[in-house]
């Protein structure tokens, strides 16, 4: 297939870690390892979380912490404890990728992408991805 017709390569955007205390986690990642924090801690009300991104090469580690006791992330943290929450891959055409995954029988958490901060995103259920929650991103 000619290059102009090839799908753009999928890139790792971030690995998200759920933590109980963002400031405590930053003490390790920023202060201990010397990694660069990008921006301030952000509140994401639609997901009921606070997040902060840490640069690691061309990708990020995203620290996430629940902002309400009843949020999905709070329930995840209570059930599984802190650690890996999801892996996020950047795709060129999110709608096409979601259709492709549905055609393969994958279970989508978000059949319709959401939008935030210059990105469209959707989550794929861990049952379909080998046990890891997967987020797909498309830059707007």
Q: Calculate mean pLDDT across residues 113-135.
A: 96
Q: What is the CATH number of the domain that holds 127?
A: 3.30.720
Q: What is the pLDDT of residues 62-94, one digit of tens each?
A: 999 999 999 999 999 999 999 999 999 999 999
- Quick one: what percent of the chain has pLDDT higher than 70? 96
Q: What is the CATH number of the domain that holds 50?
A: 3.10.180.10
114-116, strands of its sheet edge to edge: 36-44, 49-56, 59-66, 11-18, 83-90, 133-139, 119-124, 114-116
> Are residues 41 and 65 part of one domain?
yes
For residue 126, the enclosing domain spans: 91-140
Tell me if 137 sits within 8 A of 90, measured CB to CB: yes
Would you place residue 117 in the very low, low, confident or very high pLDDT band (cuts 50, 70, 90)?
A: confident
Tell me if 65 sits within 8 A of 20, measured CB to CB: yes
> Are residues 115 and 72 part of one domain?
no
pLDDT for residue 5: 58
pLDDT for residue 7: 77
**For residue 40, pLDDT beyond 50:** yes
DSSP state for residue 4 in the 8-state scheme: G
pTM of the shown model: 0.91
pLDDT for residue 57: 94
- Quick one: what percent of the chain has pLDDT higher than 90? 91
Would you place residue 2 in the very low, low, confident or very high pLDDT band (cuts 50, 70, 90)?
A: very low
**Could you please report the per-residue DSSP string of 6-58?**
SPPPPEEEEEEEE-S-HHHHHIIIIIIT-PEEEEEEEEETTTTEEEEEEEETT
Evaluate whether residue 134 is within a structural domain. Answer: yes
> Are residues 63 and 111 part of one domain?
no
């Amino acid at each position: 297939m000619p290059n102009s017709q090839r799908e753009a390569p999928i890139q790792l955007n971030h690995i998200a870690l759920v933590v109980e205390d963002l400031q405590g986690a930053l003490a390790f990642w920023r202060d201990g390892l010397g990694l660069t924090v990008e921006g301030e801690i952000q509140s994401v009300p639609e997901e009921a979380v606070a997040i902060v991104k840490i640069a690691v090469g061309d990708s990020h580690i995203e620290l996430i912490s629940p902002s309400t006791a009843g949020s999905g992330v709070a329930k995840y943290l209570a059930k599984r404890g802190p650690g890996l929450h999801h892996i996020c891959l950047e795709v060129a055409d999110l709608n096409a990728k979601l259709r492709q995954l549905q055609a393969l029988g994958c279970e989508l958490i978000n059949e319709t992408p959401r939008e935030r901060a210059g990105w469209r995103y959707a989550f794929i259920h861990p049952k379909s991805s080998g046990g890891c929650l997967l987020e797909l991103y498309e830059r707007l």
